[in-house]
Structure 1
Amino acid sequence: MPQDYYETLGVPKGASQGEIKDAFRKLARQYHPDVSKEADAEEKFKQINEAYAVLSDEEKRAAYDRFGHAGVQGAGGVPDWTEMDFSDIFGDIFGNFGFGGFGGGRRHSPNAPRRGADLQTRVNLTFEEAVFGVEKEIEITRDENCPRCHGSGAEPGSKPVTCATCGGRGEIRQTRQTILGSMVQVTTCPACKGRGEVISNPCRECGGRGLVRKTRHKKVAIPAGVDTGTQIRLAGEGQPGVNGGPPGNLYLVINVLSHRYFRRRDDDILLDLNVNIAQAALGDEVKVPTVDGNVLLKIPAG
């Protein structure tokens, strides 16, 4: 029995072209044979494409609505789905799968600015420092531009050269034959690691990385009331950006050391106070430690 194209795409007969296109995207992503593991994925995919080929064309759709399958058969009817142009659809569907689409696809410049990576470092605080806040000197170890090559990675007097493997694109494009025809799979060039350039004469100081590891110290104001697990963001103190991109951030992860007397519960400070039987029965005045110093506490009788 011939398929109902509306049922195949899961849309009502009055669906807009936007709804039809969205339904096709969802189903094509689900049943594409290069992605789906279902045994009948290829057959379902053919049905989905056939339905979309008709319903996405207003003239064919009108003929189908009036005469059913008879209205779209023969000349000007359903095209061979292997000859259809799905470049706009599959460029979006396979954008996250590393496919370039049908002879085109999205290309990312290997020299595009990229943000630097974020860093984390643990900062230990005493209980009192966490309560009142403190200015703490921290040690930051991160990559910085090499002072000898100024970040190029090449020995002064020489320059990086265009990668012969990828021709400077930073990516390798391989054509694959699928049920849809030719598809292009894009992978990062292994020779230049996506940079599009290789260094034939690497810098003696950084070994061609363009970066050197540096450790420096910085004073940071820790606010009062932090607790273990609190993160403090230092903007721009992470790894340097690539190709002029912004640096990442540094996150200080607070660790509050245990205290001899005190412990914390939310915003309260707790203290276990031991008293003897006589003090509990008759009452007494005892010295109690607090974060502000010792105070006298009157214990009522009983």
Structure 2
Amino acid sequence: MPSPLPARDGVGATRLHVPLSGEWPTVAAYMVERFHHLDADRLLARFDDGEIVGIDGSAVRRDTPLGAAEFVWYYREPSVETDIPFDIEVLHQDLDLVVIDKPHFLPSTPGGKYLQNSALVRLRRLLGNDDLTPIHRLDRATAGLLMFSARAETRGAYQLLFQNRQVEKVYEAVSARPAEVPVFPIVYRNHIVKERGHVCVRVDAAREPNSETLIELLPGDEHVVHTLLRPHSGKMHQLRVHLSALGLGILNDAFYPELLPEAPDDFARPLQLLAREVRFVDPLSGADREFVTRRTLAFAPR
């Protein structure tokens, strides 16, 4: 569903689904209750100022009755963000595709407390292209290759590559060395479930596997195990979960095998997971494409 509002400072407008019926007399009343943590008078003033619009771009007013607009769009009010002091690097740019090297700690897209400090917004502002859209995602904690569609006309062709698992992705990880190191290579499978409201995924041992990773051993040392990971599927936190299940939890992982209390970012201790290589046949030209990160993992053996 296209937004009736253009991107502003690289950030697209937020879309909200509004119930067509319910106990609220107006759209504004619903939003005041939905966003109860915000100042109600300030929110209502945004309706009066025409800052909240419907699908046709016309203003939704504070007295617009519930049911008159199923979706509304608005710009999130900027907050004071903690700066992420690492830059993105553009590795490739053409008319249809942009590939960057994303640093640790930087989210792929705006969300939560991060707006300007996201790879998407930084890239839109850097290249002056508000049509840029990520073709896939990386966790905020993960560094490495991230691909963006540069224009809507060809976006679907690249998105289908990922949907049809026609992209070869290679990751690299560093884990603390356990007393007994598994014998590699290993093809690890399990069933991963993402439950709403939970930051970690859950493994359901009773169900057929829906995730698969080939794990190979790289040269390590007496302190760490260095692995190469080739995921066949793309479930949330898949690589982190699979290594943790093998007793090889990734260094500096605050989620697996144990969810640690939320704490400020420690930029000296990034998650030791890197999106290292991407290969695919370009759906537009038919040419073989290969991209390799220029980043390295700080705790990898040298």
Query: Shorter-chain-normalised TM-score: which range?
Result: under 0.3
Kindly indicate whether structure 1 or structure 2 has the higher relative contact order, using CA contacts under 8 Å at least 6 residues apart. Answer: 1
Larger radius of gyration: 1
Which has more helix, going by share of residues? Answer: 1
| TM-score, scaled to structure 2 | 0.23
